């Protein structure tokens, strides 16, 4: 296990920093002395977050899927703080429901924000991280470890970012850049609360086996992410039991296929009413941001 590094004076970039994991992560990194660059789609909210931090901080309004915008942000962050030591690709959205009935635009947007957005963020900040021998943490999910019915876009995107991060690690490790993958189960955020507003999705999740059937508090999850950042860990687990899931990966698709078919048959009469759009406040902010740009 890697030794903890002091975060005092280090510069950390957090995407999706307006709320949830990103917002609390920014606060906890700041409490440990890191200077913080917040990136997201809601400048007013980001400004409020920035003003509450105890260390030097600033915020940037940008869509993580926009190459030019993120390249500009990377330049400006480096000009503002002089360096970049840590980048956390946290921005993410989710949608649920049966794939056959899903909204194609919402389904594609989940892939764009979660997978393409993580890659665009890495591309923008890699030059600075190479200079500082820094750390890139890609936030993935339990959804990268196990498939799940009604979550095809989210699972595909999180499996994708996990694979991307593994590839990137192999490419840039010799330059001194560390790459980590962060895994979270259902954690008490706007995204999860938004998904739970749909009765079918909430019931389906409740039928998952323990410990995947419960929602975990945000604070301890983010504390574990901060500890992973301090160690520059290759794998960061926001809930203790996720580490054990890695050894079961080979069995999960077959189990989920069997159990999932049974559950989908049970819920079929009610599937037509499942929400098809992006969930939670972050999803709403993403949709509003896109409508304003167009």
Count CB-CB contacts under 10 A for residue 89: 28
How far apart CA 270 and CA 30 sit, in angstroms, is: 45
CA 60 → CA 13, 53, 57, 219, 247, distances in Å? 10, 15, 10, 25, 39
Contact present, 249 and 242 (Cβ < 8 Å): no
DSSP letter for each residue of 203-251: HHHHTSPTTTTSPBPHHHHHHHHHHHHHHT-SEEESSTTHHHHGGGTTT
By the 10 Å C-beta count (0-12 exposed, 13-18 middle, 19+ buried), 289 is classed as middle
How far apart CA 167 and CA 163 sit, in angstroms, is: 6
Q: Is 154 noted as a catalytic residue in this protein? A: yes
Question: Could you say which of 154, 183, 216, 237 is catalytic?
Answer: 154
Residue 37: its H or E element = strand 35-40
Please identify which residue in the block is written with the tokens 């559950």: 263
At a CB cut-off of 8 Å and minimum separation 6, what does 293 contact?
Answer: 63
The catalytic site residues sit at 154
């Amino acid at each position: 296990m890697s030794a903890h590094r002091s975060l005092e004076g280090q510069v950390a970039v957090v995407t999706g920093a307006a709320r949830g994991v990103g917002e609390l992560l920014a606060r906890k990194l700041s409490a440990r002395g890191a200077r913080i660059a917040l990136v997201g789609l809601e400048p007013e909210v980001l400004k409020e977050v920035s003003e509450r931090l105890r260390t030097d901080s600033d915020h940037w309004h940008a869509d993580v899927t926009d190459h030019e915008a993120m390249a500009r942000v990377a330049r400006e962050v480096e000009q503002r703080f002089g360096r970049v030591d840590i980048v956390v690709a946290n921005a993410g959205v989710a949608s649920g429901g049966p794939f056959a009935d899903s909204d194609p635009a919402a389904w594609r947007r989940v892939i764009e924000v979660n997978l393409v957005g993580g890659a665009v963020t890495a591309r923008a900040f890699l030059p600075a991280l190479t200079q500082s021998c820094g750390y890139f943490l890609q936030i993935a999910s339990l959804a990268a470890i196990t498939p799940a019915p009604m979550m095809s876009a989210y699972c595909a995107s999180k499996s994708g970012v996990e694979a991307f991060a593994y590839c990137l690690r192999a490419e840039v490790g010799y330059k001194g850049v560390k790459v980590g993958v962060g895994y979270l189960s259902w954690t008490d955020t706007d995204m999860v609360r938004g998904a739970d507003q749909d009765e079918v999705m909430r019931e389906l999740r409740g039928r998952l086996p323990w410990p995947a059937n419960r929602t975990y508090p945000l604070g301890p999850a983010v504390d574990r992410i901060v500890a992973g950042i301090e160690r520059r860990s290759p794998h960061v687990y926001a809930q203790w039991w996720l580490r054990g899931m890695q050894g079961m990966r080979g069995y999960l698709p077959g189990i989920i296929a069997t159990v999932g078919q049974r559950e989908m048959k049970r819920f079929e009469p009610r599937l037509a009413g499942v929400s098809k759009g992006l969930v939670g406040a972050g999803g709403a902010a993403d949709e509003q941001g896109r409508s304003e740009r167009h």
